[in-house]
Amino acid sequence: MLSGLAKSYGPVRAVRCLDLVIAPGETVALLGPNGAGKTTTIDMMLGLTRPDDGTVSIFGAPPAAAVRDGWVGAMLQTGSPLDHLKVRELVRMMASYYPHPLAVEEVLRVSGASDFAERWTTKLSGGQAQRVRFAAALAGDPDLLLLDEPTAGIDVEGRRDFWQAMRAVTERGKTVVFATHYLEEADAYADRIVLIARGEIVADGPATEIKAQAGARSIRATLPGVDVEALSALPGVRSAQRHGDAVLLSCTDADAALVALLAAFPGTRDIEVTGGSLEEAFLELTAADADAGRQTTEAAVR
Amino acid sequence: MIHFRYEILRTLRNRVFYAITLALPLVLFYSVASGQRHATFDGTAFPLYFMTAMAVYGAMYAVVAPGARIARDRSRGWLRQLRITPLRARTDFAAKVAAAYLLALPTLALLYLAGASLGVRLSAAQWLELTGLLVAGLVPFVVMGFILGYLLPVDALAAGLGGVVVLFALLGGVFGFQLATSGPLFDVLKCLPSYWLVQAGKVTLGGGGWPAQAWIVIAVWTAALIPAAALAYRRAASRV
């Protein structure tokens, strides 16, 4: 769908040469720290932003045509519902723009907005407003849903509810692409994760594969006064960090690393070997890039 | 069409704004014209002149109103949201223009009734002709509303729209006095659409309608403003 996509804002290269093919029916997470180019990519997929280079094609058509024919629904990062309307009216209005919309009641039910359908759009909580934006994206029954950080600013419970509603949509065979910087979300709800950092695809595959790619496990232990360099040099260790007396080793081969660690530092205590979380994989992959900045890591940790 | 219906609904629900566009010209009309029922002004009966002027004043507010809504929607990020639906921009424009006129009509009707109550007498055909001239003459103001709505930030909009309406009203003679009746300044004033709007009452009563100059002025303003509106729309729509 995307080929050789590039976009710069002045000296900032937001997206560089992005190639991505998404099959119909897939649920794909664009995972990356803030400023990675997720929003720019989605805007280009929607035809809101013109790429400097490369092309986007949606079901074989350029974005503008796909949008005009009602194939695409989107939840943008910015935007709040129109004022002087009730929730139901807003959904009805959105639905009226599309050639084959869903029934208004159906949209309200699926998006979880039924309970406040008669409320003014300006009198909603953050979570409710997000539901309404979701409903607006669903109203036209589009085949492709693009969601730009759909759960930003929503509490944990609200997020879970949202993804539950989302499941109902993906079960109908819709293609969903969502941008997020929540690793758990990408891990739990996407078939496939496309990791983006500094405008480039760093990794692309099923969540499990991404984890494997980044080294499966890590070792935590208490080891006072040890040189991080020495730890990094141990066999099977990809990188080492020290926080006070605690050390954290990201491993390519945790078994070999553990043996070597105990041999080299018999005083090691409180050893813990953990399966790699996506979070670590994420840090690993985004930091693997030569010019990985501190900014990236900070954003990723958020 | 649902989009059009909600355009109207959203304006009507902005009750304070709508009430003011209805009431203000009416109140001004009675407070000024009731004392001058039998006066003559600008070669015609004062009530007819001032009825037309106040109808123009109220209708100008009504037709620039979409600008206020555009700016608010824009500040809510709705312009981008609309651009990713199949709704065409021109359908949206058409709905807004239609809504603007529909909401201007009650203002005209109210002022006509008020005028009649102070002795303005026109035949049915003349009332219709007057309405037709006002509808045509308001076109440049509809477009101005769009331009300001796409250009100005939402907190500057009330001042922007109000300023434009008052300025054109003042120069056009809406407030019951004319800045000039001859000389170079008068020639300038005669190049304003609001001048000819106010003249609509007089020419309707006199028969024969607007002179060619009026139609040219309206056409030139409209032709000049529409590309500006298109530019303003594109600028607003492309902004992230």
- Nearest-10 Cα torsion for A107, A111, A115, A119: -80
- Nearest-10 Cα torsion for B34, B37, B40, B46: 50
Question: Residue A182 — very low, low, confident or very high, per pLDDT cuts 50/70/90?
Answer: confident
Tokens found for residue A239: 């990188």
Could A97 and B3 be called an inter-chain contact, meaning their C-beta atoms sit closer than 8 Å? yes
- At residue B17, does pLDDT exceed 50? yes
- At residue B96, does pLDDT exceed 60? yes
Q: State pLDDT tens for residues B114-170.
A: 999 998 999 999 999 999 999 999 999 999 999 999 999 988 998 999 999 999 999
- Sort residue A259 into left (φ over 0), alpha (ψ -120 to 50) or beta: alpha
User: Which residues does A160 contact at the CB level (< 8 Å), separation at least 6?
Assistant: none
The angle, 0 to 180 degrees and rounded to 10, between the axes of the packed helices B46-75 and B139-151 is 30
Q: How far is CA B11 from the centre of its chain?
A: 15
CB B55 within 8 A of CB B25: yes
Q: State pLDDT tens for residues A38-96.
A: 888 888 889 888 888 888 888 888 888 999 999 999 998 877 788 889 999 999 999 99
Residue B76 is predicted with a pLDDT of 86
Smallest CA–CA distance from B84 into chain A, residue: A67
Could B84 and A47 be called an inter-chain contact, meaning their C-beta atoms sit closer than 8 Å? yes
**Which candidate in B4, B7, B70, B81 is best for mutational testing of the A interface (most A CBs within 10 A)?**
B81
Residues on chain B touching A72 (C-beta within 8 angstroms): 84
Domains of chain A: 2-211 (3.40.50.300), 215-301 (3.30.70)
Residue A224 is predicted with a pLDDT of 84
Domain that holds residue B135: 2-238
Query: CA B240 to CA B238: how far, in whole Å?
Result: 6
Calculate what percentage of chain A has a pLDDT beyond 90: 20
Average pLDDT, chain A: 81
**CA dist B187 → A270, A278, B26, B182 (Å):** 93, 75, 30, 7
Q: Does B40 touch chain A (CB under 8 A)?
A: no
From the CA atom positions of chain B, what is the Rg in Å?
18
Q: Which of A166-170, B27-31, B97-101, B212-216 has the lowest mean pLDDT?
A: A166-170
CB B30 within 8 A of CB B131: no
Q: Burial level of B121, CB count in 10 A (0-12/13-18/19+)?
A: exposed
Tokens found for residue A106: 């159906």
Residue A285 is predicted with a pLDDT of 67
Distance from CA of B151 to the nearest CA of A (A): 18
Residue A291 is predicted with a pLDDT of 43
- At residue B4, does pLDDT exceed 80? yes
Residue type, B94: A
ipTM at complex level: 0.83
CA atoms within 13 A on the CB side of A214: 29
Question: Residue B42 — very low, low, confident or very high, per pLDDT cuts 50/70/90?
Answer: confident
Helix, strand, or coil (residue B45): strand
Averaged pLDDT, B201-208: 85
Average pLDDT, chain B: 91
Q: Does B37 touch chain A (CB under 8 A)?
A: no
Count of structural domains, chain B: 1
The conformation of residue B41, written as its DSSP 8-state character, comes to E
Residues on chain A touching B80 (C-beta within 8 angstroms): 48, 76, 78-79
Tokens found for residue B220: 């030139």
Question: Residue A302 — very low, low, confident or very high, per pLDDT cuts 50/70/90?
Answer: very low
More confident call, A13 vs A108: A108
Residue A2 is predicted with a pLDDT of 61
User: Which residues does B9 contact at the CB level (< 8 Å), separation at least 6?
Assistant: A84, A85, A89
CB A104 within 8 A of CB A88: yes
Q: Say which of B9, B73, B77 has its CB closest to residue A76.
A: B77
Q: Does B75 touch chain A (CB under 8 A)?
A: no
Could B76 and A136 be called an inter-chain contact, meaning their C-beta atoms sit closer than 8 Å? no
Residue A6 is predicted with a pLDDT of 64
Residue A297 is predicted with a pLDDT of 35
- At residue B77, does pLDDT exceed 80? yes
Q: Say which of B9, B72, B80 has its CB closest to residue A76.
A: B80
| Chain B (104-163) residues lying within 8 Å, Cβ to Cβ, of chain A | none
Runs of H (alpha helix) within B42-153? 46-75, 78-83, 89-117, 124-137, 139-151
φ/ψ (deg, to 5) at A3:
-140, 130
Residue type, A128: Q
Helix, strand, or coil (residue B40): strand
Q: Are strands A246-251 and A217-222 parallel, antiparallel or unpaired?
A: antiparallel
Residue A216 is predicted with a pLDDT of 57
Other CB atoms within 10 A of residue B217 CB: 21
Question: Residue B98 — very low, low, confident or very high, per pLDDT cuts 50/70/90?
Answer: very high
- At residue A12, does pLDDT exceed 80? no
| Chain B (216-235) residues lying within 8 Å, Cβ to Cβ, of chain A | none
Q: Which long-range contacts (CB under 8 A, 24 or more apart) does A231-234 make?
A: A231/A261, A234/A260, A234/A261, A234/A264
Q: Does A113 touch chain B (CB under 8 A)?
A: no
**CA dist B224 → B153, B192, B214, B227 (Å):** 23, 13, 15, 6
Residue A281 is predicted with a pLDDT of 65
Q: How far is CA A2 from the centre of its chain?
A: 17
Q: Say which of A47, A48, A79 has its CB closest to residue B78.
A: A79
Residues on chain B touching A10 (C-beta within 8 angstroms): none
Query: CA A279 to CA A205: how far, in whole Å?
Result: 15
Residue A299 is predicted with a pLDDT of 39
Residue A296 is predicted with a pLDDT of 38
Could A140 and B85 be called an inter-chain contact, meaning their C-beta atoms sit closer than 8 Å? yes
Query: CA B135 to CA B129: how far, in whole Å?
Result: 10
Residues on chain B touching A82 (C-beta within 8 angstroms): 10, 73, 76, 78
Query: CA B204 to CA B135: how far, in whole Å?
Result: 14
Residue B137 is predicted with a pLDDT of 96
Distance from CA of B104 to the nearest CA of A (A): 19
- At residue A294, does pLDDT exceed 90? no
**CA dist B103 → A78, A91, B52, B226 (Å):** 31, 24, 17, 21
Could A48 and B83 be called an inter-chain contact, meaning their C-beta atoms sit closer than 8 Å? yes
Q: Burial level of B90, CB count in 10 A (0-12/13-18/19+)?
A: exposed
